[in-house]
Amino acid sequence: MKTIIIAAGKGQRISDEFKDIPKSLIPINDETIFDRQKKVFKNKNISNIVVITGPENKFSDKNITYIQDEENEKHDILGSLLVAKKYLSDELIISYSDIIFEEKIIQQLLDTEGDIVIAVDLNWEIAYEGRTEHPLSEAENVLLNKKQILEIKKNIQNDKHTIGEFLGLVKMTKKGAKMFLEKIEDLEINHRGPFHNAMSLEKGYLTDMIQELIDSSIEVTPSFIVGKWCEIDTKQDYERAKKLFV
């Protein structure tokens, strides 16, 4: 199994101190976000790690495969994934680069059956208390009917169904990776114009691609995780992460 970490973004929203370095390399106490992710994956025997960087690769770790996204400022996550699409094969986990998580969260993801599985937190709203710089409206929500994912996007409002938050972790089997790759390659060739909640395919988020899979009747399974995790997108998030992950 491999992990693809999408790490082309920088940390300018967190602090001027971090505006010129990838979010992955921001230190949380004595370890960078990347070091913490890498340790968790390796503890789960996932040592094949692919990192999508910006045009300047500022990572120094050896035994890592680096893919440079030369035009990362012109697109978003899906544009970065297209640069590394040849690695969308076999069993894999796709991970955001600005999240920290306990090891048991990855184990729960691995234990959930399905060709394409996404990590979902049902107890997500508590993490937004006092989070004024990154309010509830910015959460990547998942609308659920029991274990069926109905919709995934930011700021879902619905009183009839359960709403969770997508962590930014996707697990795929070999079959799931093949379906994902075939779909994204087909879109790359044939799709023009807006893509779900994005201006274009290249400027799309991972959530837009997941919604496309769902709309194409490709099953996407939720893994309801329980454990400690956090996203580091703002100064408030950074301070919270330092308290949660000592």
pLDDT digits (tens, 9 = 90+) for 59-107: 989 899 999 999 888 899 999 999 999 999 999 999 999 999 999 999 9
Q: With 90 as the cut, is the pLDDT of residue 9 above it?
A: no
CB atoms within 10 A of CB 41: 21
pTM of the model as a whole: 0.96
When computed from its CA atoms, the radius of gyration of the chain, rounded to whole angstroms, is 17
pLDDT at residue number 208: 98
65-68/48-53 β-pairing: parallel
CA 103, 107, 110, 111: dihedral to nearest 10 degrees?
-170
All structural domains of the chain, each given as residue ranges with its CATH number in brackets, are 2-244 (3.90.550.10)
| Digit-coded pLDDT (tens) for 120-170 | 999 999 999 989 998 999 999 999 999 999 999 999 999 899 999 999 999
Cβ–Cβ under 8 Å, residues 14 and 233: yes
Cβ–Cβ under 8 Å, residues 191 and 176: no
d(CA 57, CA 160): 46
Residues in the chain: 246
Cβ–Cβ under 8 Å, residues 92 and 3: yes
